[in-house]
């Protein structure tokens, strides 16, 4: 079975590296970078692109609208923050985007305990928000009165992070794809078992995904040389943004003793809310790790890299062909977008 691979758009159009503060000139390049990024992702055959969920990032909906016609094979995983948008407006926007894009929209409903969210959501708000949208979709009169066109049969699939017990229960009730934290194989299987049990109790069968920050090169040594400053929270120019939260213990630029090549390492918080695991290694090592995740039941990946455009090319040229050889990847036009509700 092929996996779905979404690459995350740079948060503010800055491609100078994690933890680096963009200059005014770099910020002004955002639109051009977004377009180049979307074209590169489409050319390599990624499933789609994901908009950044932080409060301070470029607006997800406007960014996607700008890019939808640039790359017609891509899906768009749009970050939606329940605390900042009324449910009726969210339903209307999602339905409209889905219709105008030809069914290429996915919704990433953000919870505040999710890496990269920057405190932008809340599991309780997400539950209430998605419950309200479900009511709009089920009641034509209510939807019309609210200005929402929520009865579309192809309403966007919902991605929701299960990074805490409360968020996991919300994901079990509402998510088409439940995003779980990247963990070692044993811990991941336990998390999957719990998530499946909660979903089964709710009468649902969601798919599962995870987030990974990837650094891949022809050799492991080259990848680790590049990953060192990024894991430390600095960009290629050494400029750094102070962390908004403590760095996770064990974040190192090289594999600790006993760690197999290509294993995911913890990532410190170099920007507000960031904390995704970093997958570092050669193209084959990274492909091996993704295959292990897929074997465990993870079929949706939200990937990121710094600089974003450069890493898309490295992953697309080096890792995607290896995944294709294993039957885990096929070009975006034929790739799965999400599990049916």
The total number of structural domains in the chain stands at: 1
Residue 97 located in a structural domain: yes
- pLDDT at position 115 is 52
Residue 28 lies in a domain: yes
42: domain CATH number is 3.20.20.30
Q: Between residues 257 and 21, which one has the greater pLDDT?
A: 21
**Looking at residue 97, what is its pLDDT?**
84
Residue 197 clears pLDDT 70, i.e. is over it? yes
This prediction's pTM: 0.81
Residue 31 is assigned to a structural domain of this protein: yes
In the numeric block, which tokens belong to residue 98? 């889905």
Distance, CA of 94 to CA of 235 (rounded, Å): 35
pLDDT interval class at 284 (50, 70, 90) = very high
Across the chain, mean pLDDT equals 76
Domain span including residue 81: 4-211+292-334
Query: Is residue 285 a part of any domain in this protein?
Result: no
**Percentage above 90 pLDDT, the chain:** 38
Q: Is residue 161 part of a domain?
A: yes
SS3 149: coil
Please determine, for residue 113, whether its predicted confidence score (pLDDT) is greater than 90. Answer: no
Number of helical H runs and strand E runs in the chain: 12, 10
Residue 227 included in any domain: no
Residue 192 lies in a domain: yes
Is residue 188 pLDDT above 90, yes or no? Answer: no
CA distances from 146 to 8, 137, 188, 222 (A): 32, 11, 41, 55
- DSSP line for 269-332: -SSTT---EEEEEEHHHHHHHHHHHHHHT--EEEEE-SSHHHHHHHHHHHTHHHHHHTTS---G
CA distances from 126 to 122, 194, 296 (A): 6, 20, 27
Kindly indicate the confidence band of residue 77, based on its pLDDT and cuts at 50, 70 and 90.
Answer: very high
| Mean pLDDT of the region 270-297 | 81
**pLDDT surpassing 70 at residue 14:** no
Residues in the chain: 341
Please tell me the least confidently modeled range out of 23-27, 104-108, 162-166.
Answer: 23-27
Output the pLDDT for position 54.
Answer: 59
Phi, psi torsion values for 257, nearest 5 degrees:
-55, 130
């Amino acid at each position: 079975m092929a996996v779905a691979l979404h690459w995350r758009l740079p948060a503010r159009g800055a491609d100078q590296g994690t933890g680096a503060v963009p200059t005014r000139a770099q910020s002004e390049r955002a639109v051009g970078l977004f377009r180049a990024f979307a074209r590169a992702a489409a050319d390599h055959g990624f499933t789609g692109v994901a908009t950044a969920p932080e409060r301070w990032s470029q607006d997800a909906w406007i960014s996607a609208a700008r890019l939808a016609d640039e790359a017609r094979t891509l899906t768009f995983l749009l970050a939606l923050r329940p605390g900042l948008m009324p449910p009726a407006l969210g339903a209307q926007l999602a339905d409209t985007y889905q219709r105008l894009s030809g069914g290429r929209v996915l919704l990433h409903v953000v919870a505040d305990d999710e890496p990269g969210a920057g405190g932008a959501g809340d599991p309780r708000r997400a539950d209430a928000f998605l419950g309200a949208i479900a009511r709009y979709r089920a009641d034509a009169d209510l939807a019309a009165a609210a200005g929402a066109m929520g009865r579309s049969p192809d309403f966007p699939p919902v991605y929701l992070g299960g990074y805490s017990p409360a968020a996991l229960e919300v994901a079990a009730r509402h998510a088409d794809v439940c995003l779980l934290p990247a963990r070692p194989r044993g811990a991941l299987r336990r998390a999957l078992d719990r998530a499946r049990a909660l979903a089964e109790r709710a009468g649902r069968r969601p798919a599962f995904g995870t987030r990974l920050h990837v650094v891949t090169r022809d050799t492991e040594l080259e990848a680790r040389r590049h990953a060192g400053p990024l894991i430390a929270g600095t960009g290629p120019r050494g400029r750094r943004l102070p962390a908004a939260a403590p760095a996770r213990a064990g974040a190192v630029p090289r594999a600790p003793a006993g760690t197999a090549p290509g294993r995911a390492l913890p990532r410190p918080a170099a920007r507000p809310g960031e904390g995704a695991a970093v997958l570092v290694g050669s193209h084959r090592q990274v492909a091996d790790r993704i295959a292990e995740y897929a074997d465990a039941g993870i079929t949706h990946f939200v990937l990121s890299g710094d600089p974003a455009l450069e890493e898309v090319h490295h992953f697309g040229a080096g890792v995607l062909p290896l995944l294709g050889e294993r039957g885990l990847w096929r070009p975006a036009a034929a790739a799965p977008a999400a599990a049916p509700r």
